Structure 1
């Protein structure tokens, strides 16, 4: 009878464990790994933005694979006393499982780093981002450094320059684009060409106010007169009507650009850890004028409590506030471009397998 009871206990425990452990490990393990990858990815991105602000070399460590084996261990037995007339026997069981994860990392370097980070963003990718719902002014401010005669702080595409950047007229043009876009008067399409691919910016006329804004935009872009169809191309042909040169940034250039929104303590300026930028009058340039509505990374000696993402670097905490929606939007935008640029270069995407082995 004792053997039968033990066998029943073992059979019941095995059936219960094999039927529950596998699905439960998938339900909870997959979500846990997913959250861990997502959180460490955004922390790594923020860390590299801070590094760029300090002119430190960036490094991206990719998770190339995740595998996890699950071992199930079962035990059963009987316990009690056998002493007439009050004999008692009680069956018992024990179930335990051990997870053994294997995570593989690979640094992003060599030709892959050059292709992914140093190559200019393709105009087709700019179009994808536009149709993904990102505001046209955010796309252009981060990843376009020249639009016709307008300069968007081209030297900010690299380490912090010593001279103040030129950007005001570019911002005026992108603000006009945003106002037209917000009113539903902008359509952006791809224009393949043998001479050089481009984008067609088609504007819809709706009242005199539209005419005024379009005329101002065309004047800023250096066009001879108002037009409701503007061609944005990297290589405009001489004499091409309505064509404006567009020079895109690379992914690394866009990261350098927004990294100027990383605030650093005054003592780091004083000892030269971070370069000081000055205008023509010799006054210190405030980079918040450039990145104020794009990115703000704060710093402090203590770990922040209400941060969207935070990292510890050079003895300080750097973070993006959870209620800073502009910074969070730009940060998510950069993260999406990072994934977009790496789509055809990555090897094996993170894989999670959970084989169940009963012992």
Structure 2
């Protein structure tokens, strides 16, 4: 005989109900991904761009040693679009009375995270390739780096072929030549003058006229005065001239002109490629250009500006490393001289861009 009063049984225990309510409140309390994504993406994308910039430059230098065609890709824009969807459903049912006394419960959850980065690559070609890589650096840009505090000896050794007809060393197979001894003497003397901070230089750009290099004297000591005289003798400059014309050229027109025969970025890369270390088997098989002859006498100035090593296995401690032709080519992270020179080359690569920057493509990203 059925009972006189109906029995009602709850399908969810109090513990389960509390757990589901806590989960629902937690998800409801989640806010937008925006602030967190900025903190994460800006660091991650910045690190990836810096690393790939170094690796692309290193790979193209190595390619030149093998007579291979370098390829340059600019990352013109990075747009990251993220979306997160979540949903929680709770359900409960109960039955009363005999014989339908039973138990039924339902729990549902749904979540989805979507990350759709849009990255645009622009190959450097045509007029842009010519401007970036084939056009010699501007003498004013070279001296602007010196004025900004970069060591004058490093800047001139890397960026110039000659100053007033006094030639730098070239390690490339096309124009291999030893340096004029006076060139290294000039670098050492100019570095001492720069360190003294008693003899300054300033560049004036008066309209469309050629640049003017102004020598500023501030109580010059005898040692600095002697160094200044020695540089003027090497470059055949008038001893009392305080304003010098700064031009691009092989030789000077008069004794008040500084003619810089600057290198292009392509020439700089070729010079670095000539001293890169390559596997001996590749040299024996004629796959890579031979190493330049050792200058006689050999000096510290003739050492490679950037030491690029090669190995059959991936290096464990590398500043930058790239695989090529079954080998790894890399710069040691403990070689501060090579690292600083390589960083300076990246700065020069940015400086090589002149004129109006190209417009990035217009990209429409849906808001989620």
Q: Give the alignment's TM-score, normalised by structure 2.
A: 0.79
Verify: 1:174 aligned to 2:157, yes or no. Answer: no
Verify: 1:31 aligned to 2:43, yes or no. Answer: yes
1:194-231 per-residue CA deviation (whole Å, 9 max, x = no partner) reads: 66334345455533222332232222223465766655
Change in 2 beyond 3 A, CA 1:114/1:26: same
Match of 1:161 among 136, 151, 174: 174
CA distance in 2, matches of 1:237, 1:313: 44
Partner residue, 2:358: 347
Partner residue, 2:116: 100
**Which segment is superposed worse, 77-86 or 245-254?**
77-86
1:316-337 per-residue CA deviation (whole Å, 9 max, x = no partner) reads: 1111111211111111111112
Partner residue, 2:88: 76
Say which one has the larger Rg. Answer: 2
Tell me if the contact between 2:173 and 2:292 (Cα under 8 Å) persists in the aligned partners. Answer: no
Match of 1:44 among 56, 67, 84: 56
Tell me if the contact between 1:145 and 1:248 (Cα under 8 Å) persists in the aligned partners. Answer: yes
Verify: 1:248 aligned to 2:262, yes or no. Answer: yes
Verify: 1:320 aligned to 2:323, yes or no. Answer: no
Offset at residue 276 of structure 1 (A):
3.2
Aligned-pair Cα RMSD in Å? 3.9
Tell me if the contact between 1:146 and 1:152 (Cα under 8 Å) persists in the aligned partners. Answer: yes
Partner residue, 1:296: 307
CA distance in 1, matches of 2:366, 2:148: 38
Change in 2 beyond 3 A, CA 1:277/1:97: closer
**Which segment is superposed worse, 109-118 or 222-231?**
222-231
Tell me if the contact between 2:160 and 2:260 (Cα under 8 Å) persists in the aligned partners. Answer: yes
Change in 2 beyond 3 A, CA 1:44/1:163: closer
Count of aligned positions = 348
Q: Give unmatched runs, 5+ long, in structure 2.
A: 1-9, 12-16
1:144-203 per-residue CA deviation (whole Å, 9 max, x = no partner) reads: 1110131013x55xx533744334321221121111112213423224466633434545
Q: Give the alignment's TM-score, normalised by structure 1.
A: 0.81
CA distance in 2, matches of 1:350, 1:185: 49
Partner residue, 1:233: 247
**Which segment is superposed worse, 228-237 or 304-313?**
228-237
Match of 1:273 among 287, 295, 301: 287
Verify: 1:134 aligned to 2:145, yes or no. Answer: no
Partner residue, 1:334: 345
Partner residue, 1:21: 33
Match of 2:162 among 142, 146, 157: 146
Equivalence map 1:305-316=2 (5 Å): 305-316=316-327
Verify: 1:264 aligned to 2:278, yes or no. Answer: yes
CA distance in 1, matches of 2:356, 2:272: 24
1:334-357 per-residue CA deviation (whole Å, 9 max, x = no partner) reads: 111212223645434699998652
More relative contact order, 1 or 2 (CA 8 Å, 6+ apart): 1
Tell me if the contact between 2:77 and 2:120 (Cα under 8 Å) persists in the aligned partners. Answer: yes
Q: Give unmatched runs, 5+ long, in structure 1.
A: none
